Protein backbone atom coordinates (compact mmCIF):
# COMPACT_ATOMS: atom_id res chain seq x y z
CA UNK A 1 0.00 0.00 0.00
CA UNK A 2 2.34 2.71 -1.20
CA UNK A 3 1.95 6.32 -0.17
CA UNK A 4 3.27 8.50 -2.96
CA UNK A 5 4.26 12.13 -3.18
CA UNK A 6 3.74 13.39 -6.74
CA UNK A 7 4.54 16.60 -8.53
CA UNK A 8 2.03 17.56 -11.20
CA UNK A 9 3.13 19.99 -13.88
CA UNK A 10 0.15 21.93 -15.21
CA UNK A 11 -0.05 23.06 -18.80
CA UNK A 12 -1.46 26.42 -17.66
CA UNK A 13 -1.34 27.85 -14.15
CA UNK A 14 -4.86 29.25 -14.15
CA UNK A 15 -7.19 26.30 -13.98
CA UNK A 16 -6.27 24.92 -10.57
CA UNK A 17 -9.81 24.69 -9.24
CA UNK A 18 -11.03 22.44 -12.05
CA UNK A 19 -7.93 20.30 -11.93
CA UNK A 20 -8.09 19.87 -8.16
CA UNK A 21 -11.71 18.83 -8.46
CA UNK A 22 -10.81 16.33 -11.17
CA UNK A 23 -8.04 14.89 -9.00
CA UNK A 24 -10.39 14.49 -6.03
CA UNK A 25 -12.91 12.75 -8.24
CA UNK A 26 -10.33 10.10 -9.03
CA UNK A 27 -8.69 9.62 -5.64
CA UNK A 28 -8.51 10.71 -2.04
CA UNK A 29 -5.48 12.92 -2.53
CA UNK A 30 -3.95 15.47 -0.23
CA UNK A 31 -3.40 18.50 -2.43
CA UNK A 32 -0.75 21.04 -1.53
CA UNK A 33 -0.30 24.65 -2.53
CA UNK A 34 0.23 25.45 -6.18
CA UNK A 35 3.66 26.92 -6.93
CA UNK A 36 3.35 28.63 -10.29
CA UNK A 37 2.57 25.60 -12.53
CA UNK A 38 3.57 22.91 -10.08
CA UNK A 39 1.01 21.19 -7.90
CA UNK A 40 2.15 18.82 -5.14
CA UNK A 41 -0.14 15.99 -4.10
CA UNK A 42 0.06 12.91 -1.87
CA UNK A 43 -1.92 9.77 -2.61
CA UNK A 44 -2.48 6.54 -0.74
CA UNK A 45 -3.11 3.52 -2.96
CA UNK A 46 -3.80 -0.13 -2.29
CA UNK A 47 -0.79 -1.41 -4.24
CA UNK A 48 1.82 -0.26 -6.71
CA UNK A 49 -0.31 -1.37 -9.67
CA UNK A 50 -3.07 0.93 -8.48
CA UNK A 51 -0.49 3.64 -7.96
CA UNK A 52 0.60 3.25 -11.57
CA UNK A 53 -2.97 3.21 -12.83
CA UNK A 54 -3.71 6.31 -10.82
CA UNK A 55 -0.61 7.93 -12.26
CA UNK A 56 -2.00 7.39 -15.76
CA UNK A 57 -5.48 8.61 -14.79
CA UNK A 58 -4.06 11.79 -13.31
CA UNK A 59 -1.99 12.32 -16.43
CA UNK A 60 -5.15 12.09 -18.52
CA UNK A 61 -6.83 15.01 -16.72
CA UNK A 62 -7.12 17.95 -19.12
CA UNK A 63 -4.57 20.58 -18.18
CA UNK A 64 -2.12 18.12 -16.59
CA UNK A 65 1.10 18.22 -18.56
CA UNK A 66 3.37 15.81 -16.75
CA UNK A 67 3.73 13.95 -13.45
CA UNK A 68 6.93 13.18 -11.59
CA UNK A 69 7.25 10.84 -8.64
CA UNK A 70 8.89 12.50 -5.63
CA UNK A 71 8.64 9.76 -3.01
CA UNK A 72 7.08 6.36 -2.42
CA UNK A 73 6.74 4.82 1.04
CA UNK A 74 6.12 1.08 1.26
CA UNK A 75 6.40 0.97 5.01
CA UNK A 76 4.30 -1.64 6.72
CA UNK A 77 3.72 -3.53 3.49
CA UNK A 78 5.82 -5.83 1.45
CA UNK A 79 6.87 -3.74 -1.52
CA UNK A 80 7.48 -6.86 -3.50
CA UNK A 81 6.30 -10.08 -4.87
CA UNK A 82 4.28 -12.78 -3.25
CA UNK A 83 5.74 -15.33 -5.59
CA UNK A 84 8.17 -15.79 -8.38
CA UNK A 85 7.79 -15.91 -12.09
CA UNK A 86 7.65 -19.04 -14.25
CA UNK A 87 11.43 -18.82 -14.26
CA UNK A 88 11.52 -20.22 -10.74
CA UNK A 89 10.28 -23.52 -12.04
CA UNK A 90 12.56 -23.32 -15.05
CA UNK A 91 15.66 -23.25 -12.90
CA UNK A 92 14.63 -25.94 -10.56
CA UNK A 93 13.39 -28.45 -13.11
Partner 1 sequence: MLTLERRKFLKLAALTAASSAASRRAGAAPLAANNGSSLAGLDWQKAPCRFCGTGCHVKVGIRDGKIAAIAGHENAEVNKGLLCVKGYHVGGILYGKDRLTTPQLRDANGELQDITWEEAINVIADRVMEAPEKFAFYGSGQWTIPEGYAAQTLMKAGLSNNHIEPNARLCMASAVTGFVSTYGVDEPAGCYDDLDHCDVLICWGNNPAEMHPVLFSRVMDRRSRGEKVELIDIGTRRTRTTEFADHFMNFRPQTDLAIANCIARHLVYTNTYDKRFVEKFCNFRADIEDGLDLMGRPIDFAAYKEMLDPYTIEYTSKLSGLPAEQLQHLCDLFADPKQKITSLWCMGMNQHTRATAINRLVHGIHLLSGKFGVPGNAPTSLTGQPSACGTAREVGTLCHALPGGLLVAKPDHREHCEKLWNIPAGRINPKPGYHTVEMWTRFCTPTDEGGDISTIIVQVTNPGQTLPNLKKTFQAKKNLKDKFLIVSDVYPTATTALADLVLPAALWVEKNGVFGNSERRTQQWFKLVEPPGQARPDTWMTLAIAHRLLELGHPGMKDKDGNFILAVHDEAGNEVPVWDFDHFYDINVDEALFEQYRPFTHKKHKNVAPYQELVKHTGMRWPVVQDESGEWRETKFRFSEFSDPFVEKGKEIQFYHSTTDDDRAQIWFCPYEPHPEEPDDDYPFWLCTGRVLEHWHTGTMTMRVPQLANAMPKTYCELNPEDASELGITNGDPIVISTRRGDITVPAWTNGRGRPPRGSLFVPFFDETKLINELTLDAYCPISKEPDYKKCAAKIRRA
What's the rounded Cα separation, in Å, for the pair 16 and 52?
Answer: 23
Residue from 10, 15, 20, 60 touching partner 1 (CB under 8 A): that is: 10
Distances, alpha carbon 38 to alpha carbons 25, 27, 69, in Å: 19, 19, 13
Residue 2 binds partner 1 (CB under 8 A): yes
Instruction: Tell me how far, at minimum, the Cβ of 25 lies from partner 1, in Å.
Output: 19
Q: Which is nearer to partner 1, 18 or 28 (CB)?
A: 28
Q: Which is nearer to partner 1, 20 or 50 (CB)?
A: 50
Contacts to partner 1 from residues 12-51, by CB under 8 A: 30, 32-44, 47-51
Distances, alpha carbon 5 to alpha carbons 14, 49, 83, 92, in Å: 22, 16, 28, 40
Amino acid sequence: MPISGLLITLEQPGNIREISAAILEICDAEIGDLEERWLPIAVDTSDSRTARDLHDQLLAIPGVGYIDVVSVAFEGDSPAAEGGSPLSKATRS
